[in-house]
Amino acid sequence: MEELYIMIYIIVFIVGSIAGLLLSYKKHMEPYIISEIDVLTLVFSIVGWFLLFNHGLNHFISSEILLTIAFFCIGLAIGRRPGYGRKETAIGILIAGIVWILTSGVLF
């Protein structure tokens, strides 16, 4: 069964990436790169990476569903047009990593 879930996660990530790419090209038609942080992408990135690292904190919804949502959100942020989504992804990983370190008991 584990392989089935892996396949679902990969497919969901790809669907998220394609959606992210299409959204990004729709929003940014200009030939140059705007180096501002996009709030929507940032939200998707934080939600995605948070759920990926910290899905164990939740005991009500199954991990498989949370991970599926996580991979979709990560795909949406990371799959943006080249030049976009990098800062948002880095912030998402940073926040999710800090929460994981504080809650997993690694430090204590």
Partner 1 sequence: MNLMAQILINVIIAFLAGSLLLGFHRKVMARVQLRPGPPIIQYLLHSLKFFFKETTFPKTASIPFYISITVILAGIWVTGVIVGPVAKGSLMILFGIYAIHKIVEHNAGSSSGSPYGKVSCVRAVFSAAGELPLFAVIAVIFILTGTMDISGIIAYQSIHGPLIFQLPLAALMFFTLIVTKSPYSPFAITKGKEIISGFETEHFGMLRGYIMFSESIAWYILLWIFLTIFFGPISVVGYVIGMIVICIITGFINATTPMLNPNHSVMAQISIAVICTVGSIIMIII
**Residues engaged in binding partner 1 (CB under 8 A):** 1-4, 6-7, 10-11, 13-14, 17-18, 21, 33, 78-83
Q: Minimum distance from CB of 47 to partner 1 (Å)?
A: 20
* DSSP label of 37: P
Which one, 7 or 57, has the nearer CB to partner 1? 7
Which one, 14 or 95, has the nearer CB to partner 1? 14
Q: Minimum distance from CB of 82 to partner 1 (Å)?
A: 4
Q: Minimum distance from CB of 70 to partner 1 (Å)?
A: 14
Rounded CA gap, 15 and 12, in Å? 5
Return the closest-CA partner of residue 76 out of 84, 58, 99: 84
CB 44 within 8 Å of CB 73 = yes
Tokens of 50: 């948070």
